[in-house]
Amino acid sequence: MEILRHDVVSDDTEALILVDSEDNEIGSLDKTACHDGAGLLHRAFSVFIFNEDDELLMQKRAADKRLWPDFWSNSCCSHPRQGEDVDVAIHRRCEQELGLCTQLEYAYKFEYSAEFGEIGTEHELCSVYVGTFAGELNINTAEVSAIKWLSIEAVDRELYANTDQYTPWFKLEWARLRADFAHLLPRG
C-alpha cells in the first residue's frame, strides 16, 4: 500500500557541490548550470531499496523533470546540498521522495557523464547505496510518477527488453552491482 502526496522538495536554483574526480570539493553552483551543456562534475547519490520479497523498488521519474522525465530508474537518486554530507542527504531524500527511512549500506562510487539530447547532461560522481524496507510508502508525486517492485531477474529482463525506458545511470549502476557487489543484493 502506498500514500500519495505532492511536495516540492527541490528546484533548479539549489546549489550543488562541484567536485574533482577524486571527490575533492572545488565549489558550488546551481543545479541548472551544473546540468547545462556538457555538464559540470558534481556530487550525487543513488539508492537501491529491496523489499522482504527480494524485489527492487523502481521509480518512474516525474514528467516535469528536466533530464530523463518519465524514465524508469532506481529507488531514489539525487544530490547532496551544499554543506550537506552524503550520508545525511541519502536519508533526507528517501524520506522526501518515498516517505521511507531505513538503514543503507554504501557499495561504491563512480564517475559518469550522460547527455540528454540538447537539453543537458548529467556529469556526476555518484555514491551508490543499498538497503531494505518493509512498510508503507508515501510517494511524492512531484518527484515520482509511478513505482513498481521487480525481482532481480525481472530487472535484468526489463533492461534487456526495454533499455530505452531506463535512465543511463541506473543501467550502469545495476550492471556494476550485479557484477561486483552481488553480496549486497538479496540472495547475494
Q: Which residues are catalytic?
A: 77, 124
Cα(1)–Cα(145) distance, rounded to whole angstroms? 16
Q: What is the DSSP letter of 36?
A: S
28 contact partners, CB below 8 Å, separation of at least 6? 15, 16, 17, 18, 82
Cα(55)–Cα(20) distance, rounded to whole angstroms? 35
Cα(27)–Cα(82) distance, rounded to whole angstroms? 9
Q: Which run of H or E residues covers position 114?
A: strand 104-116
* 163, 157 contact by CB (below 8 A): no
- In the chain, the N- to C-terminal Cα span, in Å, equals 27
Instruction: Look at residues 99, 104, 110 and name the one whose alpha carbon lies nearest to residue 179.
Output: 110
